[in-house]
Structure 1
Amino acid sequence: MAQGPKRIRRSWIPERKPFEQRAVDNSRFYNSRTWRNLRKRFLDANPLCAECERNGEVRQATVADHIIPISRGGAELDDKNLQPLCKRCHDSKSARERSGRGGMG
Structure 2
Amino acid sequence: MSRNPHYIKMINSSRWRLLRAKKLRSSPICEVCEANGLSTLATEVHHKTPVESVAHELGMRQLMFDYSNLQSLCHACHSEMHRRAFSHSKESIQANNKRATQRFVDNFLNGEE
TM tier, smaller: 0.5 to 0.7
Task: Tell me the residue number matched to 2:35.
Answer: 54
- Deviation per CA, 1:19-72, whole angstroms, max 9, x where unpaired? 5xx5x4522211110000100111011100000011111000011110011011
Letter of the aligned partner of 1:31 in structure 2? N
Letter of the aligned partner of 2:75 in structure 1? K
* Structure 2 portions without partners, runs of 5+: 55-59, 92-113
Task: Tell me the residue number matched to 2:17.
Answer: 36
* Structure 1 portions without partners, runs of 5+: 1-17, 101-105
Question: TM-score w.r.t. structure 1 length?
Answer: 0.68
Task: Tell me the residue number matched to 2:50.
Answer: 69
Task: Tell me the residue number matched to 1:9.
Answer: none
Query: What RMSD over aligned residues (CA atoms) do the two structures have, in Å?
Result: 1.9
**Between Structure 1 and Structure 2, which shows a larger proportion of helix residues?**
2
Answering whether residue 80 of structure 2 is matched by residue 92 of structure 1, we say yes
Counterparts of 2:67 and 2:28, CA distance in 1? 14
Identity of aligned residues (%): 35
Question: TM-score w.r.t. structure 2 length?
Answer: 0.63
Counterparts of 2:78 and 2:22, CA distance in 1? 18
Letter of the aligned partner of 2:33 in structure 1? C
Mean Cα deviation higher: 74-83 or 29-38: 74-83
